[in-house]
Amino acid sequence: MAKIIRKHPETGEVFRPHRFRDGLYRVADPALGSKKHHAENQIPAAEQEIAGYVRRGFLLRMRGELNGQVNLVRPEEIEIIGDSRVAAPMAPGEPPKVESASMPPAPVPAPLAISPGGMLPLHGRITCADCFPDRRAQWGETTLERAGWRLTNNPMAWGGQRPEILVLGFSKGATQDAAILTKRHEDVAFARGRKALGRILDTLGLFLAGRSIDDLIAAPDGPMAFGSLIRCSVAKSDGKGGWFQSGGDILGSCLADQSFGDIITNCIRRHLANLPDSLKLVVMLGNGAGYIDGCRRAIASVRPGIRSVNDVAYGDDQVMFVHTIHFAAQGRLVPEWCEATEGTQAQKRKLAQHAISGWGAQP
């Protein structure tokens, strides 16, 4: 890890990067001029990302070792020592590096890492480039295009590292990705869909008394964790020069597309193969038959003890995976899943509830 310091030219006081309460640091884009120091314009950054931002001309919040004062320091005043792993700097405003769509889908070199010690990722941005060439990527910027799919390096995690319940979407949608580099971390997950998500969890009897969905998502030591099956953002080409990130088609087709399969396996191996002992239930948002089958097969590839419970649930001796309606499902699908007494979604809800209520009695 690079050592980053600033020495005051007159007093000699040493300044080091200031870590905020959310565990992240803050950088500022010089292109914002006189507004760059405003709190709402500060960009959160993980420790591993700081050197890259500074080399690209961003300013950094640093704290003095003597007086404790936190200042926004210009990059020319900052010294980066031992930064051998940071890619060549890009000027502010330079477009992100995009790997060619014609690249062959070569397998990622082994071995692949998994979460250490049976813990989920730490609340915040995740440093991971397993699926990118040479395993190098700039968080939030580097993209990989292959066979009609695009992967953007921006893996994230919310909530506890040793939770009782893990809630997983498929991948961040367009709403979550919008302005992701400038949003507060706590504001990204399930943007505009938290009311529906809370309703789904409450229908399953999983909502903890006195804890709002906002509180649970923001709690780094909480009893629940939140994320996505594919932690980076996935988009599918519409064949007309555009991309889409949501809808039933992208869920099932991504899992079924062999040209993208290694990316799915990489992410599932890293984040689901070695789970904390505290975790007993994973709520999977999305209950289309193709999506359920694809998820079950992918998870079974890294957890060979997986067995079927019913049409919407499967698990092993440690943890059960239960599929529910997606929080962003269109029309009346969410209320139908939550309230209807008959019909397809009502049946799927009853299966999910039955799986959860009876899981403790499983051998």
Amino acid identity, residue 24? L
Yes or no: say if 289 and 251 are a contact pair by the CB < 8 Å rule: no
State the pLDDT at residue 209.
62
Find where tokens 């239960």 sit: 322
State the pLDDT at residue 196.
95
C-alpha–C-alpha distance, residues 76 and 9, integer Å = 12
363 residues of the chain, pLDDT tens digit each: 578 999 988 888 999 999 988 788 898 888 777 777 777 677 888 888 788 888 878 899 999 998 888 889 999 999 988 754 333 333 434 433 433 333 333 333 333 333 444 689 899 999 888 889 888 899 988 999 887 888 899 999 999 999 999 999 988 877 667 668 888 899 999 988 999 999 999 999 987 667 899 999 999 988 999 999 999 998 888 777 777 665 555 555 666 666 666 788 888 889 999 999 999 999 999 999 988 998 998 899 899 999 999 999 999 999 999 999 999 888 899 999 999 999 999 999 999 999 998 765 443
State the pLDDT at residue 248.
52
State the pLDDT at residue 254.
65
C-alpha–C-alpha distance, residues 151 and 132, integer Å = 9
Q: What is the model's pTM?
A: 0.67
State the pLDDT at residue 93.
41
Yes or no: say if 154 and 191 are a contact pair by the CB < 8 Å rule: no
